[in-house]
Amino acid sequence: MNRTAVDPRRGELTVGELARRSGVPASTVRFYEREGLIHSRRTGGNQRRYARDTLRRIAFVRASQRLGIRLADIRDALSLLPLGRTPTQEDWARVSSRWHGELTLRIELLLKLRDKLTDCIGCGCLSLDGCALVNPCDVLGETGSGACGLAALPTDTAYESPAVRDAS
């Protein structure tokens, strides 16, 4: 049997086959499995075998990551999909609909960023009282004078605009 062919008896893929078909390195396939994003079964020789629908799951993970969605959120969404069968279009629609509102808010924020970026002259600019990106509504004016803008911003989370907070 050709080493790169899918085993026709099982219709499953090896790690290498899944990596080649999905376009991600084998190490990424194993990482996604460790993170609970995809699942495999083990053969008698302890080799991983993946159902063919794992290709769609990896494509979903990669597209979601490109949108800036955290792995934990991707894992939560994928946990809604059935493991015993190939997900249907309705299954995928249910999963993706969870992010519709969040993605809409991100798009709005990105559009504001695009439109205001030409007015921004970078971090520590002289217009912090009017900066719609770093200091909307001059919220940093209450923290003191000087270059307090960057020190006051949280470093472990993305900026959340007042519109995003109010929508929550």
0.85 exceeded by the pTM? no
pLDDT 10s digits, 69-79: 899 999 998 88
Residues 6+ apart with CB under 8 A from 19: 25, 26, 28, 29
Tokens 């999909």 sit at which residue? 81
pLDDT 10s digits, 32-90: 999 999 999 999 999 999 999 999 899 999 998 998 889 999 999 888 888 777 888 89
pLDDT value of residue 31: 97
Cα–Cα distances in angstroms (integers) from residue 80 to residues 59, 67, 77, in the given order? 16, 20, 6
Mean pLDDT of 13-34: 96
Mean pLDDT of 16-39: 96
pLDDT of 149 higher than 70: no
Q: Higher pLDDT residue, 4 or 112?
A: 112
Got the DSSP string for 56-87?
A: HHHHHHHHHHHTT--HHHHHHHHTTS-SSSPP
pLDDT 10s digits, 82-122: 877 788 889 888 888 888 888 898 888 888 777 776 665 55
Rounded CA separation 76/95 (Å): 9
pLDDT value of residue 45: 93
Rounded CA separation 40/78 (Å): 14
Mean pLDDT of 14-42: 95
